[in-house]
Structure 1
């Protein structure tokens, strides 16, 4: 007997059973996602309580101050550049690595482990490793430049290279993580598709672009959403490597929010910055879903 042909009492019981199964997840989602977002928005409309002075309602003054804040504009610009410079290279590199280790090559297991190892390292450890690479005169990069007769360079102390140096670290760490998802997706693709494409005279590039990549679009959507979130939640290795410097050249939005909220103790303004960050992430995620939904193909 199907649910549709059951009595009203059975249908209500089935519906109640389903809602009860969803209840724990719904409570956790409301408690740790929806309520904090609403509370943050409410705090963004108030001043910061200090000592005996209670918080006062000021409306959207924090958002108006934001429009005139040059550091916020710089942090937003840096973050957009950081997202563009890390998401595309890390996803592209993850696909290349997954295609390579998915083939029948010698030492495939060791190569997979080598690609995935940076993902297992804590971000603070990764930052310290690359801090050694970037050390002027003594770091690995300057040692290699010295062999080529090039002068030393202060990679993290120059406004022209600090942000790019941080982006390189992020790509190095995240590409191996995204590779695992692409590798799992590739192992679900039937080898008969490759054989059929070969019989039709398709080249490797044509097979990848017209057959394989469309089948990887569900994985690509998942990876892009995670990569976007990672690009806007970076704080930890900025502490070790640049602290947002020099002259805010590597300041990103979340790091700026941390400084406003915990260094300068302006929690109202930090809450307003957080709402802008959440809105930006929501818009980016929505655009990705709407844009990629038509391009997603399931086997």
Structure 2
């Protein structure tokens, strides 16, 4: 097959993926950017070009800044914690343990549960006086608390649910990566006098960096696309204390029907995710060890 035919053959193989990517990723992103420069169409009034008015309104919107701040706290609280727990669990179940298969299943079970089902389970756990959390607190003579109805605890309560659900999902990737690492590396390191901590820090962790990069990017996306738990458990309350950015976009677009302003908020969310992912790739790629 000639080089030109090879190129055509390669592009034909890529064509279905390119079409789907353009139709469901690039076109919606560009359409969202375009609509952010127009007003919301009404029944008796078509959309008109308003320039940067929607962005000016967003700049002066206190709920947007509250949602953005909440999302940053949410990401900083859930991403490192869930990734660290996932790595610890993967190291634990990768050892020769009795009931290892059961442990793996138990750690992974929260991942396969539907998001709405998880939210309802934890909604019961957080129920004042009757929920599991308050029942445990009563055993230690601690006062009950309305975890989802208090400004200071609503967001941490959502963060705990996210960590519980995502740690098992990320564990699977770390476990798969650990099983690809030859045991001879550990044996050689121990023979050279390396401690377990030195083996983990100097050998194992660098070998896991490609997986860590993948997991961190996914954790970042998950932190900014959470809406199910907020909708079921708090609806952004109390007083927007648990409002996250995607939930606010959903609320603006489908409760207030201000689609142009929702498009403006979506553009900002896409920019945040793109910029953060780019910086992560730039920073971590040079520290990633590929076998």
Per the shorter chain, which TM-score range? over 0.9
Deviation at 1:56, TM superposition (A): 0.5
Match of 2:73 among 78, 81, 93: 81
Structure 1 distance, partners of 2:290, 2:131, is: 47
2:219 aligns with 227
Note if 1:237 corresponds to 2:229: yes
Q: How far off its partner does 1:99 sit?
A: 0.2
Displacement after TM superposition at 1:205 (Å): 1.2
Identify which of 140, 150, 153 aligns with 2:142.
Answer: 150
The reply on whether 1:182 has 2:174 as its aligned counterpart is yes
| Aligned with residue 257 of structure 1, among 234, 238, 249 | 249
Structure 1's consecutive aligned runs of 4 or more residues displaced over 4 angstroms after TM superposition are none
RMSD across aligned positions (CA): 0.7
What SS is found at the alignment partner of 1:160? helix
Partner of 1:130: 122
Alignment correspondent of 1:6:
none
CA distance in 2, matches of 1:203, 1:158: 46
Normalised TM-score (structure 1): 0.96
Q: Which residue number in structure 1 is paired with residue 151 of structure 2? A: 159
SS class of match (1:128): helix
Alpha-carbon offset, residue 177 of structure 1: 0.4
Q: Does 1:56 align with 2:48?
A: yes
Q: How big is the shift at 1:239? A: 1.3
Residue number in structure 2 paired with 1:21: 13
Q: CA deviation at 1:240?
A: 1.2
TM-score (norm 2): 0.99
Q: Is 1:12–2:16 an aligned residue pair?
A: no
CA distance in 1, matches of 2:77, 2:28: 30
State the alpha-carbon separation in 1 of the partners of residues 6 and 122 from structure 2.
56
Aligned partners of 2:106, 2:100: CA distance in 1, in Å? 10
Unaligned runs of 5+ in 1: 4-9
Shift of the alpha carbon at 1:132? 1.0
Query: In the TM superposition, what is the alpha-carbon distance from 1:69 to its structure 2 partner?
Result: 0.6
Tell me the CA shift for residue 203 of structure 1: 1.3
Shift of 1:184: 0.2
Determine whether 1:46 maps to 2:46: no
Deviates more, 1:123-132 or 1:110-119: 123-132
Aligned to 1:96: 88
